[in-house]
Structure 1
Amino acid sequence: MSFFTRKKQQNSSDASLVLASLGGDRDAFCIIVARYQSLLCSVAYSSVGDVKHSEDIAQETFVEAWKKLETLQDPEKLKSWLCGILRFKVSRYRRKAASQPIEGAEDITEGEDHEAGQIGLEESAIREQEQALLWQTLEQIPANYREPLVLFYREHHSVAHVASALDLSEEVVKQRLSRGRKLLEKAMVTFVEDTLAKSAPSLAFTTSVIAAINLASPPVQAATLGAGAAKAGSLLKWTGLVTLLAAFSGVISAFFGVRAGLAQSRTQRERRSVIVLTSLFFIFAIIFVAGMFGFKHLAAQHIVSPTLLAVISQLWVLGFVFSYLWLTMYLLQKTRNLRAQERIFNPDAFTHPADSPSAKQREFKSNASLFGVPLFHFRFGTPEKNDGPVVGWVAGGDRAYGLLFAWGGIAVAPISVGIVAVGGLSIGAVGIGVLGIGTVGIGFVGFGAAALGYKAYASMSAMGWESAFSGGFSIAKDAAIGSYAFAQQVNNEQAADIVQLALFGQGYLWLLGTIAALVIVPAAWHSREVRRRMKR
């Protein structure tokens, strides 16, 4: 994240920072920690009376908040939500301390030994005596006076800050501070002020929290941002599920494709070609995904500028698209040429009637047609040198053009499924359409591991004209939400409204089921028919 973006986030509202954090932005959550660490440490201290334990409790609170950020229903109430978590942990700590006094004593001793190794036994002992004396004084004051007093001296004597932190009016804070001071013994006033000022949490506290949340999984569901606000985490979960399902659907579909390819093969060279070409598709996909994860890691570690990596990631996406287009065309051409060669050099492998180029088993074309186009047209045998594309209302083959539905290596139809799919609803390794879904989804609306479109939604990289959303790089003209986002509106309520994440609601479950069916069912049916028809 650039210095400019970081400075801008520091002035952002709680809701904006929550939304950014839900997108996986740890820098945004770091700002939340810096904003509320003093409040939480002070409230904890005013309850437990020990600086070390109060900071431990506050740190645990921030870590738990990071893990459970999706449960926050109203980000505008972030402060009270954090305090609620803190008070629960304070209550649990006090119950445990009361029931296990010996363990508590051992913990303090261990803390003393650790601290003594850093600042010396004598200085450690003096400091602990000061803290003990301080707490003996503060413990005599009721909590409703003690909390404002602790905050006041830790927050540079600011009544306004204390009032804001405790959601009280400045007049009430002044009254409680006045009453609190009177309750302190006069001889201890100066001592209390100085010691409290020295015990405020330092930058080391923030560093500890961020180190802890880096080991934890980021939040995966969004908080409700109110009327007109989007549920970003829900879509983050959605895109993760889409990617996972697409990956498994692709693997299953590829398995059936390999079975069909081997059933169509008649020579050792053809069988070896099926395995090699299928492996190339997997290798290209693995390289693409590994590269995208690598770019995000480099950005997270600040090894390379996120802006530069965002540009490189889009070039990487385009490289994958063109490589798959080339590989698909190469596959289709290679298969035809190899079959023609094998018929010349290994004629004995093609003596079965089913292997004749004119064999009925190789294709199915329905007698029924509409507007001169067969209702169904499928190819089951290995395509020959002079075979044209498969055309029908519902079509399936190496090159399939459907007026309604198409499935194949290259599929073109209003609803298309293939390695490269083009149409209205297109699902493939590269899906190009009005709604493009795939490893790379390209269209008016694009979904996938990477997406390009007017509106782009992806798990790793999204580039949209109007809006983009992803768990990694998001680039758009108007609005972007993501760990590394670039647009006019970035990771805020305005961006969420433009991205329109809430538009999908619970419909993603239906869409996931449809995707699975469209990818797996045709592949399984085609594989079964190939093996049945081309059996020798």
Structure 2
Amino acid sequence: MHMFKQKSAFKKLDDPALVLASIGGDKEAFCEIVSRYQNLLCSVAYASLGDLKQSEDIAQDVFVEAWQKLDTLRDPAKLKSWLCGILRFKISNHCRSEKNQAIKNADDIDALNLSKVSESSMEDQAIDKEQQNLLWNTLSTIDVNYREPLVLFYREQQSVENVANQLDLNIDTAKQRLSRGRKLLKKAMTSIMEEALEKSKPGAVFTAGVFIVLEDVSKHTAAAVIGASSIKTSSFFKSTSLITIFAAFSGVISSFFGLKASLYQSRTENERKLAKKVFMLFMSFAAIFVGSMYGLQFLSASYQHYNLAFAVSSQILVLGFVISYLMLMSMIFKTVAELRAQERIFYPEAFAREVDKQSSKKREYKSSLHIFGYPLVHFKFGTPEINEPAAKGWIAGGSKAYGLLFAWGGLAVAPVSVGIISVGVITCGAVGVGIFSIGTVAIGIVAFGASAVAYKAYASLSALGWESAFSNGFSMAKEAAIGPVAYASEVNNEAANALSNMTVFGEHYQWILITMAAFVIVPAYLHFNQVRERMK
């Protein structure tokens, strides 16, 4: 514990104090010097040598020599400049010795114990070497005055202030060099890619191979397949793009009708304010959820080493959204009913009309036809009151609706249900739970939504599946996963494609979108229209 406190104390000391403590033999103080300047020295060395291992070795030698000769430093305030001076001297000596070396970058044969090196580790080393070579081939075309700030910038949390401080530059100069360095880096990378792609273009051997294959294929059959495929693909994407846009806005359209209905149901200014607040709360929670998901996707593209953490975070975000909507729905049911009871007491004149009495028949519709004791249709149109029962029928609708066939509402429970929270066999909602589920968050056996949790999960943002998962963002499953960030036994290959039934999904998902949009918009409009006629 004492050691940790001592290290923490050294972090607060300036360079002269650290130098004096180190000269007195305090190794912990010198370790703080190493921690403070190791990135600077390694980065400057790499910008000159282009070899990560050599740059770290030379930087380490600098610190060893500095420890031995620290008492020769006349001005402790100039510690950084002194260290950089030793570093540049060692770099110069190293470059001279490299020129005189007969075989550059040769490995000591005794150091290569091939019998102990696994095939996978050799592949990893080869990949790292290729990455280093590509990086240095690009950076080496840039002048060292621009190269050093670039290397430091990406090693110092992309902070211009840190770069300026480490290289003793003013902010404007650091910005200028970084800007110029980026332009040179982009130009160099473009040149390398153009050269590589030009060399990679297929030649005569490829042509000959295709010709041999075509000899065994019927020209008429090939033409028919190509023509049919082209027409089908073209029409599919044209229709699907429009359907996707329509489906994406169906929730907004439904919410608009819900808001208008709530305003027609309201009788006082407080109720109108609450209706608008409820609308904004649900929309805000959804916007935060979707925005956070896109934020995780952006981070995963920028910091790929943490993709698993981002994928797990996406599922925590899904859980948070579901819990927040359940809590919000429960709170709103209670708040709306309590406000209505309060407003009836303080503003009785606002409820003088027959339609606003709790016993009014206009507040609901029940069909005369009953089957097994339940009305065929039961819809409620008024603002929920305290202890008011839910709408119940074969087809039911209202703030709370329980249907034997179909239900629509804030909370909808039925074999086929549509609502903010929907539960059933076939469900559609902000949170849908069913065997076949569609929603912002869809939970079921087969689920389709912005996020999906299911045996087979299909989603635009995140998918968590038992057997398979498909997503344009994060995909996690036991057997098969398809997506930019995917984790499963089979990932982004033919086996994953087959297990996910992507061919069948591609053929039918536009109809799923059409059905979803219809189920969301049509009941919302019909309910709004009846509320307007009865409660206005």
TMscore range, shorter length: 0.5 to 0.7
C-alpha distance in structure 2 between counterparts of 1:235 and 1:402, whole Å? 36
Report which stretch shifted further, 482-491 or 382-391: 382-391
In structure 2, relative to structure 1, the CA distance for the partners of 1:359 and 1:272 (3 Å cut) is same
Cross-structure match for 1:329: 330
Tell me, yes or no, if structure 1 residue 367 matches structure 2 residue 368: yes
Q: CA RMSD, aligned part only?
A: 3.7
C-alpha distance in structure 1 between counterparts of 2:508 and 2:478, whole Å? 27
C-alpha distance in structure 2 between counterparts of 1:295 and 1:370, whole Å? 50
Specify which structure has the bigger relative contact order, considering alpha-carbon pairs within 8 angstroms and separated by 6 or more residues: 1
Cross-structure match for 2:251: 250
Cross-structure match for 2:311: 310
C-alpha distance in structure 1 between counterparts of 2:526 and 2:433, whole Å? 24
* 1:345-377 deviations in Å (ceiling 9; x for gaps): 211211111110000100111111111111000
Which secondary structure state, in structure 2, belongs to the residue aligned with residue 384 of structure 1? coil
Matching residue's letter, 1:358? S
Cross-structure match for 2:193: none
Cross-structure match for 2:419: 418
Matching residue's letter, 1:485? A
* 1:390-431 deviations in Å (ceiling 9; x for gaps): 100000001000011100000011110000011111000111
Which secondary structure state, in structure 1, belongs to the residue aligned with residue 386 of structure 2? coil
Does the aligned pair in 1 maintain the 2:417–2:424 contact within 8 Å? yes
Give how far 1:383 is off. 1.2
In structure 2, relative to structure 1, the CA distance for the partners of 1:304 and 1:269 (3 Å cut) is farther
Does the aligned pair in 2 maintain the 1:454–1:465 contact within 8 Å? yes
Does the aligned pair in 1 maintain the 2:466–2:479 contact within 8 Å? yes
* 1:420-453 deviations in Å (ceiling 9; x for gaps): 0111110001111011101111100110111000
In structure 2, relative to structure 1, the CA distance for the partners of 1:435 and 1:243 (3 Å cut) is farther
* 1:306-353 deviations in Å (ceiling 9; x for gaps): 111000011001111111111111111111111111111211211111
Cross-structure match for 2:389: 388
Cross-structure match for 2:163: none
In structure 2, relative to structure 1, the CA distance for the partners of 1:506 and 1:497 (3 Å cut) is closer
Give how far 1:511 is off. 2.4
Does the aligned pair in 2 maintain the 1:292–1:460 contact within 8 Å? yes
Does the aligned pair in 1 maintain the 2:337–2:384 contact within 8 Å? yes
Cross-structure match for 1:340: 341
In structure 2, relative to structure 1, the CA distance for the partners of 1:278 and 1:367 (3 Å cut) is same
Give how far 1:247 is off. 3.1
Cross-structure match for 2:81: none
C-alpha distance in structure 2 between counterparts of 1:341 and 1:234, whole Å? 57
Does the aligned pair in 2 maintain the 1:481–1:490 contact within 8 Å? yes
C-alpha distance in structure 2 between counterparts of 1:162 and 1:305, whole Å? 40
Does the aligned pair in 2 maintain the 1:236–1:470 contact within 8 Å? no
Does the aligned pair in 2 maintain the 1:479–1:488 contact within 8 Å? yes
In structure 2, relative to structure 1, the CA distance for the partners of 1:261 and 1:274 (3 Å cut) is same
Matching residue's letter, 2:419? G
In structure 2, relative to structure 1, the CA distance for the partners of 1:407 and 1:386 (3 Å cut) is same
In structure 2, relative to structure 1, the CA distance for the partners of 1:253 and 1:240 (3 Å cut) is same
Does the aligned pair in 1 maintain the 2:426–2:436 contact within 8 Å? yes
C-alpha distance in structure 2 between counterparts of 1:233 and 1:494, whole Å? 26
Cross-structure match for 1:454: 455
Cross-structure match for 1:442: 443
Q: TM-score, normalised by structure 2?
A: 0.57
Cross-structure match for 1:281: 282
Does the aligned pair in 1 maintain the 2:243–2:514 contact within 8 Å? no
Give how far 1:165 is off. 5.3
Cross-structure match for 2:139: none
Which secondary structure state, in structure 1, belongs to the residue aligned with residue 395 of structure 2? strand
Cross-structure match for 1:468: 469
Which secondary structure state, in structure 1, belongs to the residue aligned with residue 456 of structure 2? strand
Cross-structure match for 2:158: none
Give how far 1:302 is off. 1.8
* 1:146-196 deviations in Å (ceiling 9; x for gaps): xxxx98xx99xxxxx999756559xxxxxxxxxxxxxxxxxxxxxxxxxxx
Matching residue's letter, 1:402? G
Cross-structure match for 1:503: 504
Matching residue's letter, 2:365? F
Aligned length: 332
Which secondary structure state, in structure 1, belongs to the residue aligned with residue 427 of structure 2? strand
Cross-structure match for 2:321: 320
Cross-structure match for 2:217: none
Matching residue's letter, 1:425? I
Does the aligned pair in 2 maintain the 1:364–1:377 contact within 8 Å? yes
In structure 2, relative to structure 1, the CA distance for the partners of 1:344 and 1:293 (3 Å cut) is same
C-alpha distance in structure 1 between counterparts of 2:461 and 2:270, whole Å? 38
Q: Runs ≥4 in structure 1, deviation > 6 angstroms? A: 161-164, 231-243
Does the aligned pair in 2 maintain the 1:239–1:457 contact within 8 Å? no
Cross-structure match for 2:194: none
Cross-structure match for 1:300: 301
C-alpha distance in structure 2 between counterparts of 1:425 and 1:240, whole Å? 25
Which secondary structure state, in structure 2, belongs to the residue aligned with residue 409 of structure 1? strand
Give how far 1:526 is off. 0.6
Which secondary structure state, in structure 1, belongs to the residue aligned with residue 531 of structure 2? helix
Among the aligned pairs, what percent are the same residue? 52
Matching residue's letter, 1:274? A
C-alpha distance in structure 2 between counterparts of 1:320 and 1:401, whole Å? 24
* 1:77-101 deviations in Å (ceiling 9; x for gaps): xxxxxxxxxxxxxxxxxxxxxxxxx
Cross-structure match for 1:89: none
In structure 2, relative to structure 1, the CA distance for the partners of 1:505 and 1:288 (3 Å cut) is closer
- Structure showing greater radius of gyration is 2
Give how far 1:460 is off. 0.9
C-alpha distance in structure 1 between counterparts of 2:380 and 2:246, whole Å? 27
Matching residue's letter, 1:436? S
C-alpha distance in structure 1 between counterparts of 2:418 and 2:531, whole Å? 18
Matches within 5 A, 1:176-325: 244-302=245-303, 305-325=306-326
C-alpha distance in structure 2 between counterparts of 1:232 and 1:495, whole Å? 22
C-alpha distance in structure 1 between counterparts of 2:203 and 2:535, whole Å? 81
In structure 2, relative to structure 1, the CA distance for the partners of 1:533 and 1:524 (3 Å cut) is same
Does the aligned pair in 1 maintain the 2:402–2:413 contact within 8 Å? yes
Give how far 1:515 is off. 1.5
C-alpha distance in structure 2 between counterparts of 1:534 and 1:329, whole Å? 24
Does the aligned pair in 2 maintain the 1:400–1:412 contact within 8 Å? yes
Q: TM-score, normalised by structure 1?
A: 0.57
Report which stretch shifted further, 503-512 or 372-381: 503-512
C-alpha distance in structure 1 between counterparts of 2:308 and 2:534, whole Å? 54
Which secondary structure state, in structure 2, belongs to the residue aligned with residue 305 of structure 1? helix
Give how far 1:509 is off. 3.2
Matching residue's letter, 2:273? R
Matching residue's letter, 2:350? A
